[in-house]
C-alpha cells in the first residue's frame, strides 16, 4: 500500500463532504460583508458528497466579543445549494463559517422509510439503527432515553412497534441534536460581517454651508446661525446634517468668487483649502465660532433627532501648520516647491495633497487618524470623506478599522466619483456608504441597469449607495433648466430608489440651476467660494414635498432598504416603475415616476402579483401616499398617467382589501 501524502491525515481523508461557493464572501474572504443592526445575514453554500449518503450542515456564527459559536441548521435549497441565516444585533464584527458532514443517522432513517413503504424492512435494519442510537447516547453523556430506544430496537419487538420507535419524531429530534461530526468538513476560512448602525442602511442627508446660514445677507454665518437653521432641516425630516469643512481657510493662493485665481479683499476662499496660521484639521474657523459653541451645536442637533456629519478632506492649504512642521509629508518638485493639486488642465494652487509615499508615512498615518479621533471626542460620529480615492487604500483600511474598533458606531461616506472598481475597493476597505453615478443616470435603461447592479448583485453585500440629487460640485444638465418638475423628478428618484440619499440645500429645494457657464456643472456664484443668502420661505420651495416624502420613508419599512427593489415593465420609456417590499411582503410600495419634465406620459404597468403576495383574481387597494387618493386595482396590468406640471410620480402602498 502506498503511503498517504504528507499533507493528508487519515481524519481529513474521511471528511467526504465538499463545501464551496459560500456567499456572502467578498474576494475570497479578504474583506467583510456589511449589514446594519437588526438585519439578517442570509448565507448560502454549495454542499455535496460522493455517493448517495445524506448530508447535514450548520452555519456557525458569533460576535467578535463572544467566545462560543452559535449554530443554525442549514437546509437544502436546490441543486446542492444550502442556506441558513442569522440576525445581527450588535455593532462591530461577526464571524461565520460552514461545517458539513455525512450524516449516517439521516441516511439510515431516509432509507428505512423507503424500505417500510416497500415492506422490505428487516430486523437487521433496526440493529443498524440501534448502533447509531447507542453512539449518539454516548456523545450525549449516556442519555437514558436514547439508550432505551436502542435497547427496544435490539429487543426485536413486533414490526409495527419497531417502525413506530425508529421513525418517532422525538427520537429524530434527539439524534439531530447529538450528531456524529468526527469527519465534518470545515470550510477552509472564517468570514466576517461588519455591523453598522441602522443609519448606515437608511438615512436622509442635508448639506448646507455654515458660513451661509446668517439671517442677513452679506453676513458671515456662525454656529449660532446653524442652530437656528436646524429646526428647518429637522422639520423636513432629515436625520443627518452635513457640513463642508469648518476649519481655518488658507490665505496663500486663496481662490476668489467663481473660482477665480485672484482673491479680492473680503473673499472668503474655499473651505477645502484647509489650514492657516491659526490651525488646521483640529481647529475651527474663527468666524464660525468656538469649539465650545460647536459642541453646543452638536447637542442641539441631537435634541432635534439630527446627527452632524463633518467633511474630512486630507489636504492642506500652503499655510497649513503641517506644511511647515512636516514638510516631508508633501511631494516636492525639482525646484524645491511643493506640488499643488492638479487634475489637468485644472489647477488647485490653494491645495497641497499629502504624499502617501512619504518616508514618514507611519507618522502621517497616525496624525491623520487622530483627526477623526479628535472630532469623535467632540461628539461627531459621521464623516463625509473628500476624494478618498486620491489617498492610499492601505491607509483607509487601517484607519477605518482602528476607528471602528473603538467607536463601532462611526460611519464614513466616500465621496469618490471615480471608476467603479476604485469605488468598490473603497467600500471593501471600510467605507460605510458611497456616492454613486446616480446624478448622471437620466434615461430609464441607465437607471434600471445601474440600480440593478447596485442592489441585485454581489455588490450589494459590501457597497451601500447613497443617491445624491446634487452637490456643491455637481449641478447636472438635467437640473440646469431650473424647472420645478426636473427637480421634483430627481428628488423623487433619489428618495425612493435609495434607502440612503442626500441633497445639497438650500440650493436644491430652492431650484438653483444656474451654471457658471454653459457646459459646466459648477454653480454660478458657488458657495464653495463665496457667501450666499437664501430665502427659505420662497413659495417655489420644494420643502413641503421633501417633508412629505421623508415621512413616507419613515413610515414604510420597504423604503428603508435597497434589497427589495424590483423594476417592472411598462411600454413607455419615459415611465419608470418599480416596487420595494419587505422580505415578508407585509409592506409593498409601488413607485411610478415620469422621467420627462415636459409632457404627460402614460402606459400600462405589469406587476408580479404572486411575488407581491396579492391575489390575481381579487381586487386590491392602491393608496397613493403623495396625494391621499386610493385606487381599486385588479390583475397584473394597470393604467398609469403622470403630469410633470403637477406631480410627476406616484408612491403607492399596495395591499389587500381587509
| SS3 per-residue string spanning 461-502 | HCCCEEEECCECCECCHHHCCCCHHHHHHHHHHHHHHCCEEE
- pLDDT tens-digit map of 171-217: 999 999 999 999 999 999 999 999 999 999 999 999 999 999 999 99
- Give the cell for residue 218: 452679506
- pLDDT given for residue 343 in this prediction: 80
Mean pLDDT of 527-549: 97
SS3 percent helix, strand, coil of the chain, rounded to 5, is 30, 25, 40
Q: What's the mean pLDDT when you consider all of the chain? A: 96
Out of 386, 461, 509, 512, the active site residue is 386
Residues 6+ apart with CB under 8 A from 3: none
- pLDDT given for residue 601 in this prediction: 98
Out of 415, 512, 562, 596, the active site residue is 415
Is a pLDDT exceeding 70 seen at residue 582? yes
- Quote the CATH superfamily of domain 565-656: Golgi alpha-mannosidase II (2.60.40.1180)
- Give the cell for residue 41: 445575514
Is a pLDDT exceeding 60 seen at residue 8? no
- pLDDT given for residue 5 in this prediction: 41
- Give the cell for residue 658: 381587509
SS3 labels along 141-204: CCCHHHHHHHHHHHCCCCHHHHHHHHCCHHHHHHHHHCCCCCCCEECCCCEEEEEECHHHCCEE
Burial label for 537, CB within 10 Å (0-12, 13-18, 19+), is exposed
Q: Could you give phi then psi for residue 82, rounded to 5 degrees?
A: -120, 155
- pLDDT given for residue 348 in this prediction: 86
Domain 10-103+183-195 annotated CATH 2.60.40.10: yes
78 — pLDDT class (breaks 50, 70, 90): very high
254 with 265: CB under 8 angstroms?
no
Is a pLDDT exceeding 70 seen at residue 500? yes
Angle at 238 between CA 235 and CA 239, to 5 degrees: 120
442-481 in b/e form (b: 16+ CB < 10 A) is bebeebeebbeebbeeebbbbbbbbbbbbbbebbbbbbbe
Question: Greatest CA separation found in the chain?
Answer: 105
- Is 386 one of the annotated active-site residues of the chain? yes
Domain 204-315+359-560 annotated CATH 3.20.20.80: yes
Quick check: pTM over 0.85? yes
- pLDDT given for residue 1 in this prediction: 39
11 — pLDDT class (breaks 50, 70, 90): low
- Intra-chain end-to-end CA distance of the chain, in Å: 74
Of 4-8, 115-119, 569-573, where does mean pLDDT reach its minimum? 4-8
Is a pLDDT exceeding 70 seen at residue 6? no
- pLDDT given for residue 157 in this prediction: 81
Residue with cell 454653459: 518
- pLDDT given for residue 345 in this prediction: 79
- Is 415 one of the annotated active-site residues of the chain? yes
Report the 10 Å Cβ neighbour count for 169.
7
- pLDDT given for residue 10 in this prediction: 47
Mean pLDDT of 336-353: 88
Mean pLDDT of 294-319: 98
The share of the chain scoring above pLDDT 70, in percent, equals: 98
- pLDDT tens-digit map of 230-283: 999 999 999 999 999 999 999 999 999 999 999 999 999 999 999 999 999 999
Q: Could you give phi then psi for residue 41, rounded to 5 degrees?
A: -100, 115
Amino acid at each position: 500500500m502506498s503511503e498517504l501524502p504528507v499533507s493528508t491525515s487519515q481524519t481529513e481523508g474521511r471528511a467526504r463532504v465538499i463545501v464551496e461557493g459560500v456567499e456572502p464572501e467578498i474576494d475570497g474572504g479578504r474583506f467583510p460583508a456589511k449589514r446594519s443592526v437588526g438585519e439578517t445575514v442570509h448565507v448560502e453554500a454549495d454542499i455535496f458528497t460522493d455517493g448517495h449518503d445524506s448530508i447535514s450542515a450548520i452555519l456557525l456564527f458569533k460576535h467578535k466579543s463572544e467566545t462560543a459559536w452559535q449554530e443554525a441548521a442549514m437546509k437544502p435549497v436546490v441543486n446542492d445549494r444550502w442556506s441558513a441565516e442569522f440576525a445581527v444585533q450588535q455593532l462591530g464584527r461577526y464571524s461565520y463559517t460552514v461545517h458539513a458532514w455525512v450524516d449516517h443517522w439521516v441516511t439510515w432513517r431516509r432509507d428505512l422509510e423507503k424500505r417500510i413503504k416497500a415492506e422490505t424492512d428487516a430486523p437487521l435494519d433496526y440493529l443498524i439503527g440501534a448502533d447509531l442510537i447507542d453512539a449518539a447516547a454516548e456523545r450525549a453523556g449516556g442519555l437514558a432515553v436514547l439508550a432505551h430506544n436502542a435497547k427496544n430496537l435490539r429487543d426485536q419487538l413486533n414490526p409495527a412497534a419497531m417502525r413506530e420507535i425508529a421513525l418517532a419524531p422525538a427520537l429524530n429530534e434527539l439524534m439531530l441534536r447529538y450528531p456524529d461530526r468526527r469527519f465534518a468538513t470545515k470550510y477552509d476560512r472564517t468570514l466576517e460581517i461588519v455591523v453598522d448602525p441602522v443609519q448606515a442602511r437608511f438615512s436622509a442627508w442635508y448639506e448646507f454651508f455654515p458660513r451661509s446660514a446668517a439671517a442677513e445677507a452679506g453676513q458671515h454665518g456662525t454656529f449660532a446661525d446653524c442652530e437656528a437653521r436646524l429646526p428647518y432641516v429637522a422639520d423636513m425630516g432629515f436625520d443627518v446634517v452635513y457640513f463642508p469643512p469648518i476649519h481655518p481657510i488658507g490665505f496663500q493662493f486663496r481662490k476668489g468668487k467663481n473660482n477665480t485665481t485672484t482673491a479680492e479683499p473680503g473673499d472668503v476662499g474655499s473651505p477645502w483649502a484647509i489650514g492657516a496660521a491659526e490651525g488646521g484639521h483640529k481647529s475651527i474657523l474663527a468666524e464660525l465660532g468656538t469649539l465650545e459653541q460647536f459642541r453646543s451645536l452638536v447637542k442641539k442637533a441631537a435634541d432635534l433627532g439630527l446627527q452632524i456629519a463633518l467633511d474630512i478632506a486630507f489636504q492642506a492649504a500652503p499655510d497649513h501648520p503641517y506644511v511647515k512642521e512636516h514638510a516631508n509629508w508633501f511631494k516636492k518638485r525639482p525646484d524645491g516647491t511643493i506640488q499643488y493639486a492638479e487634475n489637468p488642465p485644472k489647477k488647485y494652487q490653494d491645495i497641497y495633497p499629502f504624499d502617501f509615499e512619504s518616508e514618514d508615512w507611519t507618522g502621517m498615518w497616525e496624525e491623520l487618524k487622530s483627526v477623526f479621533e479628535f472630532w469623535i471626542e467632540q461628539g461627531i460620529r459621521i464623516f463625509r470623506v473628500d476624494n478618498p480615492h486620491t489617498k492610499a487604500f492601505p491607509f483607509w483600511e487601517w484607519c477605518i478599522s482602528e476607528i471602528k474598533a473603538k467607536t463601532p458606531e462611526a460611519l464614513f461616506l466616500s465621496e469618490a466619483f471615480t471608476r467603479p472598481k476604485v469605488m468598490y475597493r473603497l467600500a471593501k476597505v471600510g467605507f460605510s456608504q458611497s456616492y454613486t453615478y446616480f446624478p448622471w443616470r437620466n434615461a430609464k435603461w441607465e437607471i434600471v441597469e445601474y440600480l440593478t447592479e447596485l442592489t441585485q448583485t454581489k455588490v450589494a453585500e459590501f457597497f451601500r449607495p447613497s443617491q445624491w440629487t446634487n452637490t456643491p460640485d455637481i449641478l447636472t444638465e438635467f437640473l440646469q433648466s431650473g424647472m420645478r418638475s426636473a427637480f421634483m423628478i430627481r428628488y423623487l428618484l433619489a428618495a425612493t430608489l435609495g434607502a440612503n440619499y442626500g441633497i445639497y440645500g438650500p440650493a436644491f429645494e430652492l431650484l438653483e440651476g444656474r451654471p457658471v457657464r454653459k457646459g459646466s456643472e459648477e454653480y454660478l456664484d458657488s458657495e464653495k467660494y463665496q457667501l450666499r443668502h437664501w430665502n427659505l420661505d420662497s413659495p417655489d420651495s420644494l420643502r413641503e414635498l421633501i417633508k412629505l416624502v421623508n415621512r413616507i420613508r419613515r413610515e414604510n419599512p420597504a423604503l428603508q432598504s435597497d434589497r427589495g427593489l424590483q423594476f417592472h415593465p411598462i411600454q413607455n420609456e419615459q415611465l419608470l416603475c418599480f416596487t420595494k417590499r419587505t422580505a415578508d411582503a407585509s409592506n409593498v410600495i409601488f413607485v411610478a415616476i415620469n422621467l420627462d419634465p415636459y409632457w404627460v406620459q402614460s402606459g400600462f404597468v405589469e406587476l408580479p402579483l404572486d411575488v407581491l403576495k396579492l391575489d390575481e383574481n381579487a381586487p386590491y387597494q392602491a393608496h397613493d401616499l403623495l396625494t391621499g387618493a386610493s385606487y381599486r386595482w385588479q390583475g397584473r396590468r394597470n393604467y398609469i398617467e403622470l403630469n410633470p406640471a403637477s406631480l410627476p410620480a406616484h408612491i403607492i402602498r399596495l395591499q389587500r382589501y381587509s
